[in-house]
Amino acid sequence: MQPAITIRGLGKRYRIGARLPVATLRETLSHAAAGLASRVLGRKKSPANDTELWALRDVSFDVQQGQTIGILGRNGAGKSTLLKILSRITDPTEGEAILRGRVASLLEVGSGFHGDLTGRENILLNGAILGMSRREMSRKFDDIVTFAEVERFIDTQVKHYSSGMYMRLAFAVAAHLEPEILVVDEVLAVGDTAFQKKCLGKMKDVAGEGRTVLFVSHNMQAVRTLCTDAVWLDDGRVRYVGESSETIERYLSGGGTQDSSPAIRQQIDALAPDPVFALRGIRILQYEREAVDVGNGSSFEVEISYEVLENVSGLHVYCRLNDAMGVLLFESLHNGTDEGLPVVSKGSYISTMTVPADFLAPGHYSLEIQAGIMGLRALCSKPVVVQISVAHTGRVNQAYPGYGTRGMLAPLLPWHTTTFNSQLPSEDRA
């Protein structure tokens, strides 16, 4: 079976500062006025191709029939440009994108709606654009209106709708008119929590019916719950394609956050000198890459580099993890399993604490790193604090892939279950 979407060598180039060819009287007058202003003010005319920006470059991947795939990436990575090309809103500069089937796009709130038409008329117009027959549209009409919760206003011009009503109707139309391919940009962030849940449920139904869904979102939980696979775009190029949980973890640990090294270095440099101990560096690592946004589906490491300036008894390096409210969740010492009071010799060290997979629940945490001499004093004038965020990429078990555990910790603890026959022996029955 051929893929629903085939993308090969796709690229999109924009020229920053370039003017498009003048087409209308209004644009002609505007262009002439701008030129006159430049001459009067003595401004130099900018060249037509001041700067080239490649929003996409050499993007290639396939989307199979019935697959639900997430598109990940930071702002400016090229996600929306990709969806606009797939929706035929803009043409690629190079490469090709082949779509096999009818496409419905929801790239922004109310995209494709005309403000002067009523809700009813916009539903019929969108259905006609998608090539739906009048019978098909009649069959879906009541479901669309009910889902959007706009029954009272269906014959009101949509320009009078609130943004929430506008968005609900737009999503309902895109999801219910049975396109073979549904393309959805970050629109769920506009709605309230109840409607977001409703939209996700509908998108799961669409995927379950064998239709293809492309879903762009910064909500990692939504991507993980809805999508079987994901594509990570970084600076207009494909960084990784794979199963959604692994792609999310790679994105979070490799490119989804800003580098925290300067903030950590600033705290370390501000520590008062100590004759016994010198903290040299701290790194949070997942997939052997530095990150402060991590996924809980895989372990991550806290790597602490330090120098012991003289032999000392009872020296320990330790971490404390606090939740967003400052409540201490746990404390862990680098030599917490040693017997007796250890003597640490003069030298350079790297101690690494591993936080196991499926241990922390999604949320924001502060990690405090400190050193001390047991029962005597602290060796750092104050703890070095690293803010970390944990996204839900783990699982409860395969039967409940989208279930999120409650609480600050989310360990997969060992359980043992036995079975027995609850029926009494025949002679003991009443």
pLDDT digits (tens, 9 = 90+) for 375-426: 889 999 999 999 888 877 766 554 555 555 667 777 777 777 566 765 555 5
* 192 shares a domain with 79: yes
**Residue 114 domain flag:** yes
**Residue 110 domain flag:** yes
Compute the distance between CA of residue 21 and CA of residue 15 in angstroms, rounded to an integer. Answer: 13
**Residue 287 domain flag:** yes
* 268 shares a domain with 213: no
DSSP tally for the chain: helices H, then strands E: 9, 21
Rounded percentage of the chain residues whose pLDDT exceeds 90: 30
Judged against a pLDDT cut of 90, whether residue 61 lies above it is answered with yes
What's 360's domain CATH number?
2.70.50.60
Domain that holds residue 313: 261-391
* 231 shares a domain with 109: yes
Average pLDDT rounded to a whole number, residues 99-105: 84
What does the pLDDT look like over 116-152, one tens digit per residue? 999 999 888 888 877 778 888 888 899 889 988 889 9
* 281 shares a domain with 194: no
* 235 shares a domain with 96: yes
Cα end-to-end distance, the chain, whole Å: 63
Compute the distance between CA of residue 218 and CA of residue 80 in angstroms, rounded to an integer. Answer: 12
Compute the distance between CA of residue 261 and CA of residue 209 in angstroms, rounded to an integer. Answer: 46
pLDDT top residue among 308 and 297: 308
Domain boundary among 250, 270, 301: 250
Domain boundary among 250, 280, 300: 250
Compute the distance between CA of residue 61 and CA of residue 331 in angstroms, rounded to an integer. Answer: 45
Domain boundary among 225, 250, 275: 250
Tell me, what's the pLDDT at 396? 55
pLDDT top residue among 180 and 33: 180
* 268 shares a domain with 200: no
* 274 shares a domain with 238: no
Judged against a pLDDT cut of 50, whether residue 210 lies above it is answered with yes
**Residue 127 domain flag:** yes
**Residue 26 domain flag:** no
**Residue 320 domain flag:** yes
Q: Residue holding tokens 């994901």? A: 230
**Residue 20 domain flag:** no
Tokens of 198: 């409703």
DSSP H helices, 255-413, are 261-269
pLDDT top residue among 28 and 246: 246
Q: How confident is the model at residue 49 (pLDDT cuts 50, 70, 90)?
A: very low
In sequence order, the 6+-apart residues with CB closer than 8 A to the CB of 71 are 79, 82, 83, 214, 215, 216, 230, 231, 233
Judged against a pLDDT cut of 90, whether residue 319 lies above it is answered with yes
* 356 shares a domain with 294: yes
What does the pLDDT look like over 373-388, one tens digit per residue? 988 899 999 999 998 8
* 245 shares a domain with 124: yes
Judged against a pLDDT cut of 70, whether residue 193 lies above it is answered with no
* 313 shares a domain with 200: no
Judged against a pLDDT cut of 60, whether residue 18 lies above it is answered with no
User: Are the CB atoms for 302 and 321 separated by under 8 Å?
Assistant: no
Tell me, what's the pLDDT at 256? 47
Among 86-95, 176-185, 249-258, 358-367, the range scoring the smallest mean pLDDT is 249-258
* 311 shares a domain with 215: no
Q: How confident is the model at residue 69 (pLDDT cuts 50, 70, 90)?
A: very high
Q: How far is CA 412 from the centre of its chain?
A: 24
Whether pTM > 0.75 for this model: the answer is no
Judged against a pLDDT cut of 60, whether residue 164 lies above it is answered with yes
**Residue 28 domain flag:** no
Q: Could you give the angle at which helices 193-208 and 163-176 cross, rounded to 10 degrees?
A: 10
With residue 389 as reference, give the H or E element that holds it. Answer: strand 384-391
Average pLDDT, the chain: 81
* 202 shares a domain with 131: yes
What's 192's domain CATH number?
3.40.50.300
Domain count across the chain: 2
